[in-house]
């Protein structure tokens, strides 16, 4: 599965406005959609999440709660 959520930037994506969050808020933000990913993928699935280097650590925290993170590519 390849995921490309909005980076932690203040931008408008497809008519939806996103504002830059602080690190703590940004760690909480992916948890609801990661729960849906867990229910969707097979046990041996590979998941690639596109993210920027500045916010990837915050997302890593939430990601590592549900998945075995094997690598981070920057």
The answer to whether the pTM exceeds 0.75 is: no
For 22, phi and psi rounded to 5 degrees?
Answer: -75, 170
d(CA 40, CA 55): 24
Q: What is the structure's pLDDT at 62? A: 82
Cβ count within 10 A of residue 26: 18
Distance CA 73, CA 53 (A): 9
Which pLDDT value is given to residue 42? 86
- Give pLDDT, residue 73: 79
**Mean pLDDT value across residues 54-70:** 84
The answer to whether residue 74 scores a pLDDT higher than 80 is: no
> What is the 8-class DSSP label of residue 7?
P
Measured from the Cβ of residue 40, the count of other Cβ atoms closer than 10 Å reads: 10
Tens of pLDDT, residue by residue over 7-57, are 778 888 788 887 888 767 777 888 888 888 888 888 888 889 888 887 788
């Amino acid at each position: 599965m390849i995921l490309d959520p909005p980076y932690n930037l203040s931008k408008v994506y497809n008519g939806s406005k996103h504002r830059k969050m602080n690190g703590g808020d940004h760690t909480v933000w992916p948890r609801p959609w990661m729960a849906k990913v867990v229910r969707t993928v097979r046990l041996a699935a590979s998941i690639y999440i596109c993210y920027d280097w500045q916010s990837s650590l915050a997302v890593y925290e939430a990601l590592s709660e549900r998945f075995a993170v094997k690598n981070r590519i920057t």
